[in-house]
Amino acid sequence: MSYWLVKSEPEAYAWSQLVKDGVTAWTGVRNFAARNHLCAMKSGDAVFFYHSGEEKSVVGLAQVVKEAYSDPTATEGDWSCVDLAPKKAMAKPVTLAAIKADRILKEMVLAKQSRLSVSPVTKVQFDQLLQLAEPRRSADRAELKMTLKDYLLNLRPAVSEALANNCHCNNKK
């Protein structure tokens, strides 16, 4: 599996529209590097959806559902598109500022070539972006902080009962 990022101005085509549509052809790409990235996409690849313009945030995760084919909106030239379907919205959008501030994500093509509308994402960058977008719930962190003493105190009543019911030390004859 490969990982990608596509950009769209929310006024032109927003994440919410992709969710509403269910599937869309990612058309209108007129940059050779971006077209080459579209042509490299395979069914099942994960694709971050980035709102450009004022918002400048990764807002969703989509999936390639149809590999590259001829872009029906192209009137001349050899341009391609793919079909994308939404997987999930990010619990917390990840801003371009947060991406540029992160030691791993600052190396993303998005941070270095901000005008490119389709770009590859490494597995490490994918995982880091997901971690920033889907922070662990505080309840999960609280559970992880349980001490051994707390664990044993919680366990003690059950152990005491088990010992009382099944103890072989009481040799009753």
Domains, the chain, in order of start with CATH, read: 3-135 (3.10.590.10), 137-167 (no CATH)
What's the start-to-end Cα distance of the chain, in Å? 68
Q: How far is CA 150 from CA 37, 58, 60, 143, 155, in A?
A: 52, 40, 39, 11, 8
pLDDT digits (tens, 9 = 90+) for 10-58: 999 999 999 999 999 999 999 999 999 999 999 999 999 999 999 999 9
Dmax over CA atoms of the chain, in Å, equals 98
8/11 Cα distance (integer angstroms): 8
Predicted pLDDT at 135 = 76
This prediction's pTM: 0.78
Predicted pLDDT at 138 = 42
Structure tokens at 124: 């490490």
pLDDT digits (tens, 9 = 90+) for 107-158: 999 999 988 999 999 999 999 999 999 876 544 444 445 555 555 565 556 5
Structure tokens at 118: 């389709």
Give CA angle at 95 (31, 38), nearest 5°: 25
pLDDT score of 9 more than 60? yes
116/38 Cα distance (integer angstroms): 12
State which H helix or E strand residue 71 sits in: none
